[in-house]
Amino acid sequence: MLPGRTLASRRLLVSRVELYWLRSVSLPRACRRHNALPECMHGGTRMIRISAWRILAVAGLSYGVVFAAANAPGGESKATADRVVLSRSLPAMKGNDLRITVLEVAYGPGAGSPAHSHPCSVVAYVVSGAIRSQVKGESAAVYRAGESFFEPANGVHLISANASRTAPAKFLAYFLCDRETKLSVPPVDSSKGNTQSMPQE
């Protein structure tokens, strides 16, 4: 075979391979025609660039749709959990005037309340920090964020204080009442509680 023909055959083979590759990346129709490669590779480079941008745009849009679906509200990508924080039996209550009141109590470092009583049953939930609490007849305890405790109606709350000298604390108190009454009153048996106990970290 003559050298000229060999070179021409090689060029034709390379051109066919290039044309096959270009067709595989979804070029415009104008570049898919036979013998259209020179126009696309030289004067038609703009058409190739437009096609590449189309491919990138479709890929980006597809990624956005998948990402949005994975993070959509109600999807199953985020696990949920629940737990029973506290469960207690309540005394008999009148059903005509039932009322619930939620009180937010915030203590600065080392702060606390004097001894008192609640005419209604109380459920407390610690939001932040740590709360030191004691009801007469029970041992003192420290409750931290996410924990809860119960106070029976007319019990004497001897200790209610921040358990830390350096950090604030906050809790929610849920008052379950069956009549109009003050939420807090002096101790019902006139005994004095001790809120001066040394706070603990």
Confidence of residue 2 (pLDDT cuts 50, 70, 90): low
113 bridge partner residues: 160
* Domain identity same for 163 and 103: yes
- Please say if the pLDDT value at position 63 is more than 60: no
Same domain, yes or no: 103 and 172 = yes
More confident residue, 95 or 161: 161
48 with 22: CB under 8 angstroms? yes
**Global model pTM greater than 0.75:** no
- pLDDT for 103 beyond 50: yes
| pLDDT given at position 162 | 97
63 assigned to some structural domain: yes
User: In the predicted model, is pLDDT for residue 75 greater than 70?
Assistant: no
Residues 57 and 123 in one domain: no
What's the CATH number where 149 sits? 2.60.120.10
Confidence of residue 89 (pLDDT cuts 50, 70, 90): confident
Report the chain's C-alpha Rg in angstroms. 38
Asked, for residue 49, whether it belongs to a domain, the answer is yes
**Same domain as 103, residue 66:** no
In a domain, 81, yes or no: no
The answer to whether 173 and 105 have CB atoms below 8 angstroms apart is: yes
Provide the domain limits for residue 121: 99-177
Do residues 104 and 63 share a domain? no
pLDDT tens for 15-38 read: 554 545 445 555 556 555 555 555
Q: Tell me: the pLDDT tens digits for 117-167?
A: 999 999 999 999 999 999 999 999 999 999 999 999 999 999 999 999 999
188 within some domain: no
For the chain, the domain total comes to 2
Condensed to tens digits (0 to 9), the pLDDT of residues 165-187 reads 999 999 999 999 999 999 999 99
Beta strands 156-162 and 112-113, pairing class = antiparallel
* CA separation, residue 188 to residues 78, 115, 120, 138, 191 (Å): 49, 10, 12, 17, 8
Q: Are 104 and 166 in a shared domain?
A: yes
In a domain, 129, yes or no: yes
Residue 196: pLDDT band by 50, 70, 90 thresholds? Answer: very low
